[in-house]
A and B are shown apart, each in its own frame.
Chain A
Amino acid sequence: MTELLRVKNLRTGFRTENGLLPVIHGISFHVNQGEIVGVVGESGSGKSVTSLSIMRLFHDTPGEIMDGEVLYKGENLFDLTEKRMKQYRGNEISMIFQEPMTSLNPVLKIGKQMRETIELHLNMPKKEAHQYAIKTLKSVGIPRAEDLMDEYPHQLSGGMRQRVIIAMQISCNPSLLIADEPTTALDVTIQAQILNLMKEIQVKTNMGILFITHDLGVVAEICDRVIVMYAGKIVEEATVEELFAQPKHPYTKGLIESVPKIGMKSEKLYSIPGTVPNPTNMPKGCKFAPRCEHAMAICHKKEPALMTVNHHATRCWLYDEEMMKDKQGEGMTNG
């Protein structure tokens, strides 16, 4: 499998009145061709900022990349000029957002928007672009594609808009698709349609997808590999089967357990106490320690490293062998 994207030690911050405030604290991961990698986390975990950092999409926001590299097919995107980067966006890397309306121009017809994208990125003459647009719309399961070309975005339903966006984004055959909560604003029956569609397209085109979501069910459904983020760091990374069968990090475990499951007959849900720490006031040591029921003395003092065993990475002292050996040793001498 060829590697498509590698993020190395990415650090991103927000400009505030008190200077640059880091919100992504050095994360590294990769996406292979033909692979769907999920990024899960709650609000404030930095998952969306990660995707914007890769795309360098910070126009009107206070976001700023502080450090790190994003290698796309071996080339560092952070070294590119804005002009070159523009060519990468859409052509090579595409992005889908949660609210489809934000990516559509409300005053232009769907057809015109589709054509413009295609003309711009694929250098196609107008007529051909028109035919190609209809073909792409049909490929995402829109039956009346011809009529739709003459309609405005507000005339479509949420699910249909998201289909149009997907059509627009895949029309230029990108190798990598970044999807930021693409189904969160949709109803479950429509979500099922869109997830199915994305899987189909992925199999057909063999592109890599970075799928950002807060919904663990969606992750289990669509992803091959999962990255769990908490407070701007990766706390766990594993294949999807491994992650749900044997979650290691207490945060991942808590997250999985706090979702109600159909058929589960328990009176009480598990819940992680407390809330996500504020970026201006990060705890020392492990960022999750204040909410963790297994927290030990060291957790509050020193941040654990991301340790990988058999392709399963965890950032937790509980899985540090040296640590645990010491601890057992202590117990022995005490006893």
Chain B
Amino acid sequence: MSSLQSKSMEVEQIKIKEPGRFQQFWRSFHRKKPAVISFYFVLLLFVIMIIGPFITPYDAAEPDYNSLLETPSLTHFFGTDEYGRDILSRIIAGAKISLSVSVSAVSLGAIIGTMLGLISGFIGKWVDKLIMRGCDVLFAFPDLILAIGIVAILGPGLKNVVIAVAFFSIPSFARIVRGATLEVKEMLFVEAAESIGAGRMRIMLKHIFPETLPTIIVYFTMNVGTAILAAASLSFLGLGAEPSSPDWGAMLSVSRDYIGTAFHLVFFPGLIIFLTVLAFNLLGDGLREMLDPKMKD
């Protein structure tokens, strides 16, 4: 209803005088409880990632043959594994691997995908067709199969896991940024920039890109969750981290033999993967509602 529009404009005018953008953002963000809890959980993970080595109760790599496969107790909160290593310490140490692998993989994917999406959406014509058909081809493979294929070609190891996960997140970033670009391209301020003589590069980077940024941030957050899962899966299959390293996926992989006898070996790494992925997804959902209400579909 147009009168509603005009009214929402009036409401907008009211908002203008309120405290700064960020404060306002923060305040309304705090009303979305799941997202807030997720935010603090993710924050905690990053803190652990940084200060992890200083707070682990035991050395994550040092075997202790006096306490093999101990169940959770006051000395070992999460119990110990088949070499007597403290599981809590290993999970804390593993946070660094999981997060750095997934964040760097998604960053790489996001950078390349965003560039492709911007070019595709802004230039259009055959460039657009070429890039989008390329994305379609990549989309045709299930993510994990694609990643396995890449790691199989490049050889196992964390570096190649990063490349593999980055690779399969490129097309989704490209497609979402292209959509946002097509929308922003039609806005009057882009025409205004053209009218002052701005070149294509300037228009893309200075005028269109900032407008697509909220979409990218939301999508980035959600993709980190997916990437953690993918990296864990690759490690689980023995294609990622070394089996002895405290990577969460690798921990799961090694301990699956003990699933009947020492359940905590599987339970805690599994739980932390579950919680982390959930947290990134909920945070992404919350951010989406705040930054990009149109993306809901």
Interface string of A98-142 (1 = CB under 8 A from B): 110011000000000000000000000000000000000000000
Q: Is A34 an interface residue (CB 8 A)?
A: no
Question: Hey, which chain A residues are within 8 Å of B18, CB to CB?
Answer: 17-18, 280
In the complex where A17-B27, A17-B28, A97-B2 touch, is A278 in contact with B7 (Cβ < 8 A)? no
Bound Cα distance A103, B6 (Å) = 15
The CA of A44 and the CA of B232, in the complex, are separated in Å by 56
**A49: B residues at CB distance < 8 A:** 7, 10
For residue B27, which residues in chain A have a CB less than 8 angstroms away from its CB?
Answer: 17
Q: Is the CB of B8 within 8 A of A98?
A: no
CB distance from A303 to the nearest CB of B (A): 21
Whether, in the assembled complex, B125 has its beta carbon less than 8 Å from a beta carbon of chain A, the answer is no
Shortest C-beta distance, A48 to chain B (Å), equals 5
- Distance A44 CA – B17 CA, assembled complex (angstroms): 14
B140 within 8 A of A: no
- Binding stretch for chain B, among A57-65, A78-86, A192-200: A57-65
> Considering the chains assembled together, what is the distance between the CA atoms of A280 and B7 in angstroms?
15
Whether A281 and B7, one on each chain, are in contact in the complex, defined by CB atoms closer than 8 angstroms, is no
B3, A51: Cβ atoms closer than 8 Å: yes
Q: Quick one: which of A259-288 are within 8 Å of B by CB?
A: 278-281
Contact between chains at B7 and A48 (CB < 8 Å): yes
Answer whether residue B74 sits at the interface, using C-beta atoms and an 8 A cutoff.
Answer: no
| Closest partner residue, chain B, to A60 (CB atom) | B4
Set of chain B residues within 8 Å of A61, measured between Cβ atoms: 4, 7-8, 11
Answer yes or no: B137 CB below 8 A from chain A CBs: no
Secondary structure at the A interface, as helix, strand, loop or mixed, is mixed
Bound CA–CA A57/B2 (angstroms): 12
Nearest B residue to A46, CB-CB = B10
Q: Is A21 an interface residue (CB 8 A)?
A: yes
Given A17-B18, A17-B27, A17-B28 in contact, is the A278-B4 Cβ separation under 8 Å? Answer: no
Q: Does A16 have its Cβ within 8 Å of any Cβ on chain B?
A: yes
Distance in Å: Cβ of B31 to nearest Cβ of chain A: 9
A246 CB–B CB distance under 8 Å: no
Select which of B2, B10, B28 is within 8 A of A102 by beta carbon: B2
Bound CA span A18–B9, Å:
18
- State in angstroms the CA–CA spacing of A262 and B16 once bound together: 37
B184 CB, nearest partner CB in chain A, Å: 24
Centre residue among B6, B16, B27 by max chain A CB count within 10 A: B6
Q: Which of A17, A51, A99, A278 contacts B13 (CB 8 A)?
A: A278
Q: Tell me, in angstroms, the Cα distance from A99 to B2 when the chains sit together.
A: 6
CB–CB B1/A97 < 8 A: yes
Contact A48 B6 (CB under 8 A): yes
**How far does the Cβ of B45 sit from chain A's closest Cβ, in whole Å?**
31
Which chain B residues in 1-50 approach chain A with CB under 8 Å? 1-4, 6-11, 13-18, 27-28
Chain B neighbourhood of A18, CB < 8 A: 18
> Is A43 part of the binding interface, using a Cβ–Cβ cutoff of 8 Å?
yes
B residues near A57, Cβ cutoff 8 Å: 3
Contact A280 B17 (CB under 8 A): yes
Q: Give the chain A neighbours of B16 by CB distance below 8 A.
A: 278
Using CB atoms, name the residue of chain B closest to A18. B18
Distance in angstroms from B17 CB to nearest chain A CB is 5
CB distance from B235 to the nearest CB of A (A): 45
Asked if A180 is an interface residue, CB under 8 A from chain B, the answer is yes
With A17-B18, A280-B18, A281-B17 as known contacts, state yes or no: A43 contacts B3, CB within 8 Å.
no
Closest chain B residue to A62, Cβ basis? B11
CB proximity of A112 to chain B, nearest CB, Å: 20
A217 to B2, CA, bound (A): 22
A318 at the interface (CB under 8 A from B): no
Q: Which residues of A contact B28 (CB under 8 A)?
A: 17
Nearest Cβ in chain B — how far from A96, in angstroms? 10
Question: If A43-B9, A61-B8 touch, does A48 touch B14 (CB 8 Å cutoff)?
Answer: no
- Cβ of B108 to closest chain A Cβ, rounded Å: 39
**Measured between C-beta atoms, what is the minimum distance from A56 to chain B in Å?**
13
A17-B28, A279-B14 in contact; A98/B2 too (CB < 8 A)? yes
- A43-B9, A63-B7 are contacts. A280–B14 as well, Cβ < 8 Å? yes
Give residues in B with beta carbon < 8 Å to A.
Answer: 1-4, 6-11, 13-18, 27-28
Chain A to chain B contacts (Cβ below 8 Å), 11 pairs: A14-B14, A17-B18, A18-B18, A52-B7, A60-B4, A61-B11, A98-B6, A103-B1, A278-B14, A279-B10, A279-B14
Given contacts A102-B1, A278-B16, 20 further A-B contacts (CB under 8 A): A14-B10, A14-B11, A14-B14, A16-B11, A17-B18, A18-B18, A23-B10, A48-B3, A49-B7, A49-B10, A61-B4, A61-B11, A62-B11, A97-B2, A97-B3, A98-B3, A102-B2, A279-B13, A280-B14, A280-B17
The 6 A-B pairs at the shortest CB distance, nearest first, are namely A99-B2, A98-B2, A102-B1, A280-B17, A102-B2, A48-B3
